[in-house]
């Protein structure tokens, strides 16, 4: 549409909206704006709640990851102590003797725990120190 000017004023918009401005129309428009604002605020609160829940979930996962890392380190430490005991040549008492298959499966479990440490990439400072040398040194010697 062509713009028209009358006494220096642009009258183009008047051709589109000929509704007279009354108190009622202003009130209705303000009511629509208020409802829209309330809806936006509710949505913001829901997004905040969702974000908070995700932050909590991330913290839980980080704690679980730390727990798993500690469990792997504990399993590896137990396995290394068992390996040290086996290598030291200490005789087992008859009450502690196991069948050969159980003993083999136990050794495989210990080896698995040692391998978990390497796979998990646990820093050397988190590995326990046994009998004057670290578990990392023990693993390096294997």
Burial of 22 (0-12, 13-18, 19+ CB in 10 A): exposed
Is 0.85 topped by the overall pTM? Answer: no
pLDDT in tens, 34-86: 999 999 999 999 999 999 999 998 888 888 777 766 666 666 666 656 655 55
Mean per-residue pLDDT, 12-16: 60
User: Is the CA virtual torsion 134, 128, 130, 118 positive or negative?
Assistant: negative
The pLDDT, as a whole number, for residue 50 is 92
Quote the CA–CA distance of 88 and 80 in Å, as a whole number.
12
Side-chain-side CA neighbours of 65 within 13 Å: the count stands at: 9
Burial of 76 (0-12, 13-18, 19+ CB in 10 A): buried
């Amino acid at each position: 549409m062509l713009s028209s000017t009358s006494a220096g004023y642009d009258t183009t918009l008047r051709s589109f909206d000929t509704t007279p401005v009354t108190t009622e129309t202003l009130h209705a428009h303000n009511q629509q704006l208020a409802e829209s604002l309330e809806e936006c605020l509710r949505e913001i609160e829901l997004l905040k709640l969702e974000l908070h829940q995700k932050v909590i979930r991330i913290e839980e996962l980080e704690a679980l990851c730390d727990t798993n890392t500690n469990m792997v380190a504990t399993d590896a430490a137990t396995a290394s102590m068992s390996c040290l005991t086996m290598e030291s040549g200490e005789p087992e008492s008859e009450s502690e003797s196991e069948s050969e298959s159980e003993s083999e499966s136990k050794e495989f479990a210990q080896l698995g725990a040692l391998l978990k440490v390497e796979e998990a990439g646990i820093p050397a400072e988190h590995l326990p120190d046994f009998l004057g040398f670290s578990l990392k040194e023990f693993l390096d010697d294997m």
